[in-house]
């Protein structure tokens, strides 16, 4: 039996072939299908709505783009596509690719990232935790509305969970919130939101 390695893509090839396709991201040259479903998109859309309403209420110079790729500087062939990303409009001018492509290359412009968990939950709980921490993103939410993550990440019994990761020094402190529990956010301290509100 012969093993044929999967074809790897460069960041530039990924942008050309899949940059406009919201179903894919690139991790270490490997194309990943994000497998969005209707319920997944519904949860992501509701979260974006709640967050944007809070941005407007606070009159912050932040925005939530319809699509955005994050290219971590330490990973040459990686392009992450978060479900929701909150960007600081004032710092977008320093992003070298932003004027031509919706691509962020440093964490300075990113106030917050949200990933809604799909069947490829390992990326959200492991790889992206590391990448987003290295970028210095202050807050990262992992929204596991179907309780798909491993017991090590969401506990036992497995159940729907939002994990709010807050950057302390260079690593994330994680707090789990279950159905019925109001979550706490450092960047949106007055946000009244429970997992129930987005399911």
Q: Are 139 and 165 in contact (CB under 8 A)?
A: yes
Q: Is residue 11 part of a domain?
A: no
Q: Is residue 129 part of a domain?
A: yes
CATH number at residue 109: 3.90.1570.10
DSSP sequence for 51-64: HHHHHHHHT-SEE-
Q: Is residue 171 part of a domain?
A: yes
Burial class of 46 by CB neighbour count within 10 A (0 to 12, 13 to 18, 19+): middle
Give residue 123's domain range. 38-198
Q: Is residue 145 part of a domain?
A: yes
Per-residue pLDDT of the chain (199 residues; tens, 9 = 90+): 444 446 688 888 988 898 888 888 898 888 988 878 889 899 999 999 999 999 999 999 999 999 899 998 877 888 899 999 999 999 998 888 888 889 998 888 999 999 999 888 888 888 888 889 999 999 999 999 988 888 888 888 889 999 999 999 888 999 999 999 999 999 999 999 999 999 8
Q: Is residue 1 part of a domain?
A: no
Q: How many domains does the chain have?
A: 1
- Say what the pLDDT of residue 121 is: 86
Q: Is residue 4 part of a domain?
A: no
Q: Is the pTM value of this prediction over 0.75?
A: yes
Q: Is residue 16 part of a domain?
A: no
């Amino acid at each position: 039996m012969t093993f044929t390695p999967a074809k790897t893509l460069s960041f530039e090839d990924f942008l050309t072939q899949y940059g406009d396709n919201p179903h894919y991201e690139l991790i270490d040259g490997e194309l990943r299908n994000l497998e969005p479903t209707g319920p997944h998109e519904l949860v992501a859309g509701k979260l974006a709505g709640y967050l944007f309403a809070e941005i407007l209420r606070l009159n912050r110079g932040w925005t939530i783009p319809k699509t955005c790729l994050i290219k971590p500087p330490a990973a040459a062939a990686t392009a992450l596509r978060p479900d929701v990303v909150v960007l600081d409009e004032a710092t977008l001018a320093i992003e070298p690719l932003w004027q031509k492509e919706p691509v962020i290359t440093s964490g300075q412009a990113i106030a917050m990232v949200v990933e809604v968990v799909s069947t490829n939950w390992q990326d959200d709980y492991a790889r992206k935790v590391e990448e987003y921490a290295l970028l210095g993103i202050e807050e990262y939410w992992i929204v596991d509305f179907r309780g798909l993550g491993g017991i090590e990440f969401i506990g036992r019994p497995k159940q729907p969970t939002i994990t709010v990761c807050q950057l302390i020094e260079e690593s994330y402190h994680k707090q789990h919130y279950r159905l019925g529990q109001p979550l706490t956010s450092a960047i949106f301290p007055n946000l009244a939101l429970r997992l129930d509100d987005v399911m």
